[in-house]
């Protein structure tokens, strides 16, 4: 699985967009980019994933560069409840072996009022 690099921490003002970068320069053509987050004292929560096209759901948007070597998770209007550790993971999903996720250190996002 490709290795990812994320900044250790970021701050964001409440109500502003939070843009969380992830570098995955060794990603292969069939690897997906997944984002999970972990709010304090809770289990990780799935946010979004994508292969090459930009994706959007009710929680966030995922922007993947054309060369797929990096991506950005965007929380359009961050709230205090978005304060969490955000994990960027790249993975080839396998019908046979399942989706084994390897979590790195992630980015601690602090949303401030």
Partner 1 sequence: DAGVIQSPRHEVTEMGQEVTLRCKPISGHNSLFWYRQTMMRGLELLIYFNNNVPIDDSGMPEDRFSAKMPNASFSTLKIQPSEPRDSAVYFCASSLLGVQETQYFGPGTRLLVL
Q: Which residues bind partner 1 (CB under 8 A)?
A: 32, 34, 36, 38, 42-46, 49, 87, 93, 95, 97-105
Minimum Å distance from CB 81 to partner 1? Answer: 17
Nearer to partner 1, 100 or 112 (CB): 100
Q: How far is the CB of 83 from partner 1 (least distance, A)?
A: 18
Q: Contacts from 15-19 at CB under 8 Å and sequence distance 24+?
A: 15/77, 15/78, 15/79, 16/77, 16/78, 17/74, 17/75, 17/76, 17/77, 17/78, 18/74, 18/75, 18/78, 18/82, 18/109, 18/111, 19/72, 19/73, 19/74
Q: How far is the CB of 44 from partner 1 (least distance, A)?
A: 5
Nearer to partner 1, 17 or 102 (CB): 102
3-state secondary structure of 32: strand
Compute the least distance from the CB of residue 113 to partner 1, in Å: 27
Residue with smaller CB distance to partner 1, 67 or 96: 96
């Amino acid at each position: 699985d490709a290795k990812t690099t994320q900044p250790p921490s970021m701050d964001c003002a409440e109500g502003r967009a939070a843009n969380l970068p992830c570098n995955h320069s060794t990603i292969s053509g069939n690897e997906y980019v997944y984002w999970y987050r972990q709010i304090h004292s809770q289990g990780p929560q799935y946010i979004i994933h994508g292969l090459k096209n930009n994706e959007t759901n009710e929680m966030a948007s995922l922007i993947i560069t054309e060369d797929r070597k990096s991506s950005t998770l965007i929380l359009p209007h961050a709230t205090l409840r978005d304060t969490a550790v955000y994990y960027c993971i790249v993975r080839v999903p396998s019908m046979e072996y399942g989706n084994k996720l390897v979590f790195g250190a992630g980015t601690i996002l602090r949303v401030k009022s």
